[in-house]
Every structure is written in C-alpha cells, then in structure tokens.
Amino acid sequence: SYPLGVHMLPKALDEEVAASHLQKIGVKLTTLTPVQAEYLGLNPAGPYKPEHYRY
C-alpha cells in the first residue's frame, strides 16, 4: 500500500496496469517474436530506443 501522493510504479506493475487499460478499450498488445527481435537486433524485453534517443 502506498501513502497518498504521486509515486513511480515498478515497471512490471506499470505494464500490468497499462495492459489492463488497453484490454478495456479493445486493444490487443503484441510482443516481438524471437525472429523479429533477432532481425531488429533488439532485446524483446526492451528498451527499444538507443540510449542517445531516449528522453
């Protein structure tokens, strides 16, 4: 339980909350397949943007 205020959620919890919101509005979230991740040279767990591009 969190005290009143604004808090940063742990990444896993934030993603779980976001996924449940998307489900409510009928959006299906997909993930990279191993083949796609290998082709793009990305880790399927992210992050997808290079360090210099993030803000």
Is 31 part of a structural domain of the chain? yes
Q: Which two tokens stand for residue 50?
A: 């290079």
Is 2 part of a structural domain of the chain? no
DSSP 27: -
Is 50 part of a structural domain of the chain? yes
Is 1 part of a structural domain of the chain? no
Is 45 part of a structural domain of the chain? yes
Q: Is 32 exposed, middle or buried (0-12, 13-18, 19+ CB in 10 A)?
A: middle
Is 3 part of a structural domain of the chain? no
Above pLDDT 90, what percent of the chain? 31
Is 38 part of a structural domain of the chain? yes
Rounded to the nearest 5 degrees, what angle is found at the Cα of 48, between the Cα atoms of 43 and 50?
110
Q: Which two tokens stand for residue 36?
A: 């796609």
Look up the domain containing 55 and give its range: 9-55
The number of folded domains in the chain is: 1
Is 4 part of a structural domain of the chain? no
**Residue 23: is its pLDDT beyond 70?**
yes
Predicted confidence band at 55 (pLDDT cuts at 50, 70, 90)? low
